[in-house]
């Protein structure tokens, strides 16, 4: 699983760690949108329903495995992988009470224990045959999901 050490200096990706009126840090805006777009596309195109549960990440890992077996060029699946990684990050945020952090165009999830997780990179690793979003979530939440 991709877990970072000392991370970005500002947790919210905005000067002063600004939090908009909806209560979510501004760093969450982009990954939350990527995740929502991907969930909608999978629901419509593949008739796959994702419910933001740790268990749903089994299905996400299988989707990535199927993509890998089709052997498309990475550029053809890059946006989908980003969305699936963001979805996994949203699962971790919801399960742990964590938050998205952003700096330099990169997005991580920081869990309340202070650890940083990179679910978007983990989705890329899955596509390469070396990762699992389900296991990242399990490790991040300390559960058996």
The pLDDT of residue 7 is above 70: no
SS3 139: helix
pLDDT computed for residue 57 by the predictor: 97
Tokens of 136: 């990242």
SS3 47: coil
> What does the angle CA 39 – CA 42 – CA 44 come to, to the nearest 5 degrees?
105
Q: Distance (Å, rounded) from C-alpha 1 to C-alpha 125?
A: 9
Residue 45 pLDDT level (bands cut at 50, 70, 90): confident
- As beta bridge partners, residue 117 has 3, 109
The pLDDT of residue 21 is above 90: no
Asked if residue 125 lies in contact with residue 119, where contact means CB atoms within 8 angstroms, the answer is no
What's the mean per-residue pLDDT of the chain?
86
Report which of residues 1 and 124 the model is more confident about.
124
Task: Give the model confidence (pLDDT) of 75-131 as tens digits.
Answer: 999 999 999 999 999 999 999 999 999 988 899 999 999 999 999 999 999 999 999
């Amino acid at each position: 699983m991709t877990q970072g050490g000392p991370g970005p200096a500002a947790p919210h990706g905005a000067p002063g760690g600004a939090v908009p009126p909806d209560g979510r840090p501004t760093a969450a805006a982009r990954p939350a949108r990527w995740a929502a777009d991907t969930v909608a596309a999978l629901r419509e195109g593949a008739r796959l329903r994702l419910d933001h549960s740790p268990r749903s990440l089994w299905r996400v890992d299988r989707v990535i495995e199927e993509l890998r077996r089709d052997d498309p060029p990475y550029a053809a699946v890059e946006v989908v992988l980003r969305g699936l990684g963001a979805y996994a990050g949203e699962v971790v945020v919801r399960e742990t009470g964590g938050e998205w952090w952003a700096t330099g165009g990169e997005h991580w999830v920081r869990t309340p224990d202070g650890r940083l997780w990179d679910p978007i990179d983990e989705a890329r690793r899955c596509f390469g045959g070396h990762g699992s979003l389900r296991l990242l979530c399990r490790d991040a939440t300390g559960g058996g999901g």
